[in-house]
Amino acid sequence: MLTAEARKTSDTNSPVERLHALVAGDMVKADALIHTRMTSAVPLIPELARHLIDSGGKRLRPLLTLAGARMAGYEGDGHVKLAAAVEFIHTATLLHDDVVDSSILRRGRDAANVVWGNKPSVLVGDFLFSRAFQLMVEAGSLEVLGILSNASAIIAEGEVLQLKSANNLGTTEEHYLNVVSAKTAALFAAAAEAGMALAAPSRTATRAMHEYGQNLGIAFQFVDDALDYSGRQALMGKAVGDDFREAKVTLPVILAYARAADRETRAFWGRVIETGVQAESDLARAIALVQETGAIAETLHRAQGYADAACKALAPLPPSEIKDTLVTVAEFCVERAY
Amino acid sequence: MLTAEARKTSDTNSPVERLHALVAGDMVKADALIHTRMTSAVPLIPELARHLIDSGGKRLRPLLTLAGARMAGYEGDGHVKLAAAVEFIHTATLLHDDVVDSSILRRGRDAANVVWGNKPSVLVGDFLFSRAFQLMVEAGSLEVLGILSNASAIIAEGEVLQLKSANNLGTTEEHYLNVVSAKTAALFAAAAEAGMALAAPSRTATRAMHEYGQNLGIAFQFVDDALDYSGRQALMGKAVGDDFREAKVTLPVILAYARAADRETRAFWGRVIETGVQAESDLARAIALVQETGAIAETLHRAQGYADAACKALAPLPPSEIKDTLVTVAEFCVERAY
A124 in contact with B at a CB cutoff of 8 Å? yes
Strands B109-110 and B105-106: antiparallel
State the best of B93, B160, B181 to mutate against chain A, taking most chain A CBs within 10 Å. Answer: B160
Is the confidence at residue B19, as pLDDT, over 60?
Answer: yes
B187 in contact with A at a CB cutoff of 8 Å? no
Centroid of chain to Cα B37: 22
Question: In degrees rounded to 5, what are phi and psi of residue A102?
Answer: 50, 45
B157 in contact with A at a CB cutoff of 8 Å? yes
The predicted structure's pLDDT at residue B235:
58
Is the confidence at residue A4, as pLDDT, over 70?
Answer: no
Q: Could you read off the pLDDT of B207-217 as tens digits, one per residue?
A: 999 999 999 99
Nearest CA in chain A to B102: A119
| Rounded distance between C-alpha atoms, residue B68 and residue B75, angstroms | 12
Q: Please report which confidence band the pLDDT of residue B337 belongs to, taking 50, 70 and 90 as the band edges.
A: confident
Could you tell me if B323 and B317 are in contact, meaning their C-beta atoms sit under 8 angstroms apart?
A: yes
How far CA B143 is from CA of A36, B64, B140, in Å, comes to 22, 17, 9
A133 in contact with B at a CB cutoff of 8 Å? yes
A175 in contact with B at a CB cutoff of 8 Å? no
Q: Could you read off the pLDDT of A306-320 as tens digits, one per residue?
A: 999 999 999 999 999
User: Is A191 or B240 the better-scoring residue by pLDDT?
Assistant: A191
The predicted structure's pLDDT at residue A337:
83
User: Is 0.90 exceeded by the ipTM?
Assistant: yes
Residue B3 CB: number of other CB atoms within 10 A?
A: 10
Q: 3-62 in B: which are within 8 Å (CB) of A?
A: 40-42, 44-45
Mean pLDDT of A26-35: 97
CB-based contact B156 A124, cutoff 8 Å? yes
Q: Please report which confidence band the pLDDT of residue B305 belongs to, taking 50, 70 and 90 as the band edges.
A: very high
Is the confidence at residue A127, as pLDDT, over 70?
Answer: yes
User: Is B93 or B55 the better-scoring residue by pLDDT?
Assistant: B93
| Rounded distance between C-alpha atoms, residue B3 and residue B5, angstroms | 5
Mean pLDDT of B302-320: 98
Element (H, E) at A109: strand A109-110
| Rounded distance between C-alpha atoms, residue B27 and residue B228, angstroms | 29
Indicate the fold that domain B12-335 takes in CATH. Answer: Farnesyl Diphosphate Synthase (1.10.600)
Q: Under DSSP, is residue B23 helix (H, G, I), strand (E, B) or coil?
A: coil
Q: Please report which confidence band the pLDDT of residue A55 belongs to, taking 50, 70 and 90 as the band edges.
A: confident
Q: Which of B84-98, B171-185, B225-239 has the lowest mean pLDDT?
A: B225-239
The predicted structure's pLDDT at residue B5:
41
Residues counted in chain B: 338
CB-based contact B122 A96, cutoff 8 Å? yes
Tell me the torsion sign for CA atoms B7, B11, B14, B18: positive
DSSP string, B185-250: IHHHHHHHHHHHHTT---HHHHHHHHHHHHHHHHHHHHHHHHHTT-HHHHHTT--S-HHHHTT---
Could you tell me if B135 and B88 are in contact, meaning their C-beta atoms sit under 8 angstroms apart?
A: yes
Mean pLDDT of A166-192: 97
Say which residues have a Cβ less than 8 Å from residue B206's Cβ, sequence separation at least 6. Answer: B193, B196, B197
Q: Which of A247-261, B11-25, B183-197 has the lowest mean pLDDT?
A: B11-25
| Rounded distance between C-alpha atoms, residue A162 and residue A96, angstroms | 13
The predicted structure's pLDDT at residue A3:
41
Mean pLDDT of B69-93: 96
B124 in contact with A at a CB cutoff of 8 Å? yes
Could you tell me if A96 and A183 are in contact, meaning their C-beta atoms sit under 8 angstroms apart?
A: no
Contact residues, chain A, for B137 at CB < 8 Å: 142, 145-146, 149
| Rounded distance between C-alpha atoms, residue B219 and residue B181, angstroms | 10
As a whole number, the mean pLDDT across chain B is: 91
Q: Which of A217-226, A260-269, B109-118, B230-239 has the lowest mean pLDDT?
A: B230-239
| Rounded distance between C-alpha atoms, residue B18 and residue B61, angstroms | 15
Q: Could you read off the pLDDT of B231-247 as tens digits, one per residue?
A: 666 656 567 888 999 89
Percentage of chain A beyond pLDDT 70 is: 94
Is the confidence at residue A236, as pLDDT, over 70?
Answer: no
CB-based contact B160 A99, cutoff 8 Å? no
| Rounded distance between C-alpha atoms, residue A109 and residue A50, angstroms | 12
Is the confidence at residue B252, as pLDDT, over 90?
Answer: yes
Tell me the torsion sign for CA atoms B188, B192, B195, B201: negative
**How distant is the Cα of A230 from the closest Cα of chain B, in angstroms?**
29
Centroid of chain to Cα A194: 16
Q: Under DSSP, is residue B109 helix (H, G, I), strand (E, B) or coil?
A: strand
Percentage of chain B beyond pLDDT 90 is: 79
- B5 HSE (CA, 13 A, CB side): 12
Q: Which of B101-110, B144-153, B293-302 has the lowest mean pLDDT?
A: B101-110
Q: Could you read off the pLDDT of A195-214 as tens digits, one per residue?
A: 999 997 799 999 999 999 99
CB-based contact B155 A100, cutoff 8 Å? no
CA neighbor of A27 nearest in space, from A4, A59, A49 = A59
The predicted structure's pLDDT at residue A26:
97
Q: Please report which confidence band the pLDDT of residue B129 belongs to, taking 50, 70 and 90 as the band edges.
A: very high
Mean pLDDT of B23-40: 97
CA neighbor of B178 nearest in space, from B241, B251, B106 = B251
CB-based contact A142 B146, cutoff 8 Å? no
Say which residues have a Cβ less than 8 Å from residue A266's Cβ, sequence separation at least 6. Answer: A257, A260
Q: Which of A6-10, A174-178, A333-337, B76-80 has the lowest mean pLDDT?
A: A6-10
The predicted structure's pLDDT at residue A102:
76
Could you tell me if B222 and B300 are in contact, meaning their C-beta atoms sit under 8 angstroms apart?
A: yes
Q: Please report which confidence band the pLDDT of residue B103 belongs to, taking 50, 70 and 90 as the band edges.
A: confident
Could you tell me if A218 and A183 are in contact, meaning their C-beta atoms sit under 8 angstroms apart?
A: no
CB-based contact B163 A41, cutoff 8 Å? no
The predicted structure's pLDDT at residue B197:
97
Q: Could you read off the pLDDT of A133-162 as tens digits, one per residue?
A: 999 999 999 999 999 999 999 999 999 999
Nearest to A156 among B118, B127, B155 (CB): B127
As a whole number, the mean pLDDT across chain A is: 91
Q: Under DSSP, is residue A239 helix (H, G, I), strand (E, B) or coil?
A: coil
User: Is B240 or B20 the better-scoring residue by pLDDT?
Assistant: B20
The predicted structure's pLDDT at residue A104:
76
The CA radius of gyration of chain A, in Å to the nearest whole number, is 20
Q: Which of A16-30, A101-115, A298-312, B244-258 has the lowest mean pLDDT?
A: A101-115
DSSP string, B39-81: --SSTHHHHHHHHHHTS----HHHHHHHHHHHHTT--SSHHHH
Is the confidence at residue B6, as pLDDT, over 50?
Answer: no
How far CA B79 is from CA of A156, B62, B82, B139, B214, in Å, comes to 25, 9, 5, 7, 19
Q: Under DSSP, is residue A271 helix (H, G, I), strand (E, B) or coil?
A: helix
Most confident of A7-11, B102-106, B294-298: B294-298
The predicted structure's pLDDT at residue B203:
94
CB-based contact A133 B122, cutoff 8 Å? no
Could you tell me if B326 and B19 are in contact, meaning their C-beta atoms sit under 8 angstroms apart?
A: yes
Is the confidence at residue A6, as pLDDT, over 60?
Answer: no
Is the confidence at residue B277, as pLDDT, over 50?
Answer: yes
Residue A64 CB: number of other CB atoms within 10 A?
A: 31
The predicted structure's pLDDT at residue B113:
83
| Rounded distance between C-alpha atoms, residue B104 and residue B20, angstroms | 30
CA neighbor of B28 nearest in space, from B14, B50, B7 = B7
Q: Please report which confidence band the pLDDT of residue A12 belongs to, taking 50, 70 and 90 as the band edges.
A: low
The predicted structure's pLDDT at residue A5:
41
Q: Under DSSP, is residue B319 helix (H, G, I), strand (E, B) or coil?
A: coil
Could you tell me if B266 and B260 are in contact, meaning their C-beta atoms sit under 8 angstroms apart?
A: yes
| Rounded distance between C-alpha atoms, residue B36 and residue A174, angstroms | 27
| Rounded distance between C-alpha atoms, residue A246 and residue A272, angstroms | 10
